[in-house]
Structure 1
Amino acid sequence: MKNQTALATKLGKALRARRLGIGLSQDDFADRIQMHRAYYSAIERGEKNVTLATLHRVAVGLQSTMSELLAKVE
């Protein structure tokens, strides 16, 4: 369980870095991908384990690929 939490936190940090890199606030990004801001915020904080479908949705919104985002998670 601890490993799973660490992975979710690392993924959240990678998503946040990418989102900030393209200059979007959490509100603007959540609107872009039609996701509630609070839910997306929980993903970035590593509090949610995302499904592949959700990760794909986020990757498309970040103008990235799932593999690029996962490569940031060591």
Structure 2
Amino acid sequence: MSITHTFGLRVRHFRKSKGISQEELADICGLHRTYIGSVERGERNITLKNAELIAQALDEPLAAFFLGTDNEH
């Protein structure tokens, strides 16, 4: 699994566990909803700056987004 795919799965996992939509996450981060969707699908090789924005918006340490688990789909 690629790092972009792992990161995207973790974004989706944390976002859903907090009960917020892609649009809400995008608003909190100051990013576009379609950008968040493409991150979650592992289609984007995002910058560390945007990765940090997403992690902060989800109140999770950035390192947690790179430690995927096999049961997150």
TM-score normalised per structure 2: 0.85
Query: Superposition RMSD on alpha carbons, in Å?
Result: 1.7
> Equivalences for 1:36-47 in 2 at 5 Å?
36-47=32-43
Q: Which runs of 4+ in 1 moved over 2 A?
A: 71-74
Moved more, 35-44 or 64-73: 64-73
Q: 5+ residue gaps in structure 2?
A: none
Q: Does 1:19 align with 2:5?
A: no
Matched length: 70
Query: Is the CA contact 2:4–2:42 (under 8 Å) kept in the aligned structure 1?
Result: yes
Moved more, 61-70 or 14-23: 61-70
The match for 2:59 among 40, 49, 63 is 63
The match for 1:9 among 5, 8, 24 is 5
The match for 1:54 among 34, 37, 50 is 50
How far the C-alpha of 1:71 sits from its partner, in A, is 2.2
Residue identity over aligned pairs, in percent, reads: 29
Structure with the bigger percentage of helix: 1
